[in-house]
């Protein structure tokens, strides 16, 4: 697929990222890209043992052969996460060595360098080694501090370089995670349509196009992606990068994330482990996307042109009631105030709810059709995830259906953005919808 024109338009207006080169055998472009963007600065290549072998060594050689002053730092740890102590290590090197970080790696190395570069008010470059997350081109760095994952707003890389063969050689699980993270854009897009109709977050056309114009085509390459075809895995990486650029252009993660990502955030915040291991962002999002696909299936079977707006408005709780409900749900959560804070931000008074529901009721046919064209059925989403080795439901990452059903109550409340569940709450169909999904006869029927 040819993305160059759309990418160049996006790069011209993206907040941080100015160069993105990808394709087969492109690691040799590293020195040229480096000089073009950073002038005569020195380079600090940061890698771990795996990414050093995958691309770090080759990139370092290219940079040094071109006469660019370059040092390297290779993390010796076999397995590590984006912890602050590792950021400190890169920070300390940059304290005494005035260089531009070149992060060689997937999510973790990128996040560490992103933060260290930010601490030193420097731009940086990333050489991708796996199509595993959409965070390559985003400005958020996810790091762990005192056991809790936190998302820090920084700057996205100025330069991204990705070699298809390097990406295709990454562990299959990482590619599957990236596929899950890209598939998340299917359901988050549908939720953006709802927020758009409510007028709380109107769709930003360019950001929307960047994510959605190629989304279905790339997801349809599932068989080739699963087989490790370099061009298909390269396309997956481009798709993920496009969503990163969309976030930079929209100045919000709305183009790439909604409820399905909140399942992942919930699991991060509760430090969820399966077989003793944290589950990757992409795997958690894949699970969330499958759940949201099931919810949309049932949502689309409902007829919101028949809702009794007066009755819904009469039943609409006060802000104080909503705050109490949030405090009750979150009382044993690691961040007990989260639901309270977010519902306070997104609460609408009864009159606004009346307007929102009237709009949905009057435009139901159109809204339903738009959402139907955007989402995949649960069956299709499960089949796609399965084909690439991504999670197909709660059990894939060691959760029960009952646990995930309870998580939905948190997901509805844990971010200020309007989501599918907010619409269902307003229309008084929240419980009915979840019963259809998790109750008797539902695709995720809870049997225990």
Residues near Zn ion, by CB under 5 A: 134, 181
Token code pair at residue 370: 């738009």
Q: Where are the beta strands (DSSP E) in 228-354?
A: 273-274, 277-278
Shortest distance in whole angstroms from residue 285 CB to Zn ion: 5
Pick 183 or 437: Cβ nearer Zn ion: 183
Q: Which is nearer to Zn ion, 122 or 281 (CB)?
A: 281
C-alpha 162, offset from chain centre: 19
Coarse DSSP helix, strand, coil percentages of the chain, rounded to the nearest 5 percent? 60, 10, 30
d(CA 15, CA 65): 31
Closest separation in Å from C-beta 160 to Zn ion: 16
CB of 301 to Zn ion, least distance (A): 28
- C-beta of 181 vs 342, nearer to Zn ion: 181
Alpha helix locations (H) across 160-229?
Answer: 164-168, 172-198, 205-212, 215-219, 222-226
Nearer to Zn ion, 94 or 407 (CB): 407
Query: Which residue, 163 or 181, is less far from Zn ion as judged by CB?
Result: 181
Nearer Cβ to Zn ion (238/312): 238
User: How far from chain centre, in Å, is Cα 99?
Assistant: 30
What are phi and psi for residue 41, nearest 5 degrees? -60, 160
Least separation in angstroms between residue 348's CB and Zn ion is: 27
In this structure, how many other beta carbons lie within 10 angstroms of the beta carbon of residue 319? 12
Distance of closest approach, residue 370 Cβ to Zn ion, in angstroms: 23
> Using an 8 Å Cβ cutoff, are 135 and 111 in contact?
yes
129, 166 Cβ separation under 8 angstroms: yes
Minimum distance between the CB of residue 177 and Zn ion, rounded to whole angstroms?
10
* Cα–Cα distance list, 114 to 52, 127, 246 (Å): 18, 12, 18
Give whichever of 122 and 265 is closer to Zn ion, judged by the CB atom.
Answer: 265
CB neighbour burial string for 349-380, b if at least 16 within 10 angstroms, e if fewer: eeebbbebbeebbeebeebbebbeebbbebee
Please, what is the minimum distance in Å from the beta carbon of residue 257 to Zn ion? Answer: 6
CB of 187 to Zn ion, least distance (A): 12
| Selection from 21, 299, 292 nearest residue 183 by Cα | 292
Cα 38 to Cα 9, 33, 125, 359: the distances in Å are 21, 8, 10, 51
Burial group, residue 87, by CB count within 10 angstroms (0-12, 13-18, 19+):
buried
The nearest distance, CB 425 to Zn ion, in angstroms, is 25
Q: Rounded to an integer, what distance in angstroms lies between the CA atom of residue 124 and that of residue 111?
A: 11
Smaller CB separation from Zn ion, 134 or 422: 134
For Zn ion, the closer of residues 60 and 241 by Cβ is 241
H or E segment to which residue 268 belongs: helix 259-269
229: left (phi over 0), alpha (psi -120 to 50) or beta: beta
Task: Tell me the closest approach of the beta carbon of residue 134 to Zn ion, in angstroms.
Answer: 5
Which residue, 198 or 283, is less far from Zn ion as judged by CB?
Answer: 283
């Amino acid at each position: 697929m040819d993305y160059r024109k759309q990418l160049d338009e996006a790069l011209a207006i993206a907040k941080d990222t100015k160069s993105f080169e990808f394709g087969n055998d492109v690691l040799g472009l590293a020195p040229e890209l480096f000089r073009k963007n950073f002038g005569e600065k020195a380079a600090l290549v940061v890698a771990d043992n795996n990414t050093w072998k995958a691309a770090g060594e080759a990139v370092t050689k290219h940079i040094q052969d071109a006469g660019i002053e370059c040092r390297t730092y290779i993390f010796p740890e076999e397995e590590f996460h984006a912890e602050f102590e590792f950021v400190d290590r890169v920070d300390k090197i940059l304290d005494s060595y005035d260089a531009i970080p070149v992060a060689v790696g997937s999510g973790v190395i990128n996040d560490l360098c992103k933060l260290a570069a930010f601490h030193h008010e420097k731009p940086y470059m990333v050489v991708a080694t796996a199509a595993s997350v959409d965070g390559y081109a985003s400005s958020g760095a996810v790091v762990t501090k005192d056991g809790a994952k936190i998302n820090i707003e920084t700057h996205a890389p100025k330069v991204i370089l990705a070699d298809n063969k390097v990406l295709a050689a990454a562990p299959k699980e990482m590619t599957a995670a990236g596929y899950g993270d890209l598939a998340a854009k299917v359901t988050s897009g549908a939720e953006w349509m709802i927020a758009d109709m409510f007028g709380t977050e109107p769709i930003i056309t360019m950001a929307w196009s960047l994510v959605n114009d190629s989304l279905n085509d790339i997801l349809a390459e599932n068989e080739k992606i699963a087989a490790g075809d370099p061009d298909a895995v390269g396309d997956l990486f481009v798709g993920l990068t496009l969503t990163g650029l969309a976030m930079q252009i929209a100045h919000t993660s709305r183009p790439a994330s909604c409820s399905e990502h909140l399942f992942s955030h919930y699991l991060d915040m509760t430090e969820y482990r399966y077989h003793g291991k944290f589950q990757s962002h992409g795997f958690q999002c894949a699970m969330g996307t499958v759940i949201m696909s099931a919810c949309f299936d049932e949502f689309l079977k409902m007829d919101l042109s028949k809702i009794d707006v007066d009755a819904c408005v009469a039943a609409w709780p006060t802000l104080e009631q909503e705050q109490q409900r949030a405090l009750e749900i979150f009382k044993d959560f690691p961040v007990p105030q989260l639901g309270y804070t977010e519902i306070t931000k997104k609460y609408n008074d009864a009159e606004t709810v009346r307007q929102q529901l009237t709009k949905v009721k009057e435009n139901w046919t159109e809204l339903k059709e738009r959402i139907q064209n955007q989402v995949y059925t649960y069956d299709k989403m499960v089949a796609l995830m399965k084909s690439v080795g991504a999670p197909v439901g709660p059990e894939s990452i060691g959760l029960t259906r009952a646990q995930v059903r309870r998580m939905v109550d948190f997901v509805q409340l844990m971010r200020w953005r309007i989501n599918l569940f907010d619409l269902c709450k307003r229309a008084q169909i929240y419980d009915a919808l979840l019963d259809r999904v998790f109750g008797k006869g539902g695709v995720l029927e809870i049997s225990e």
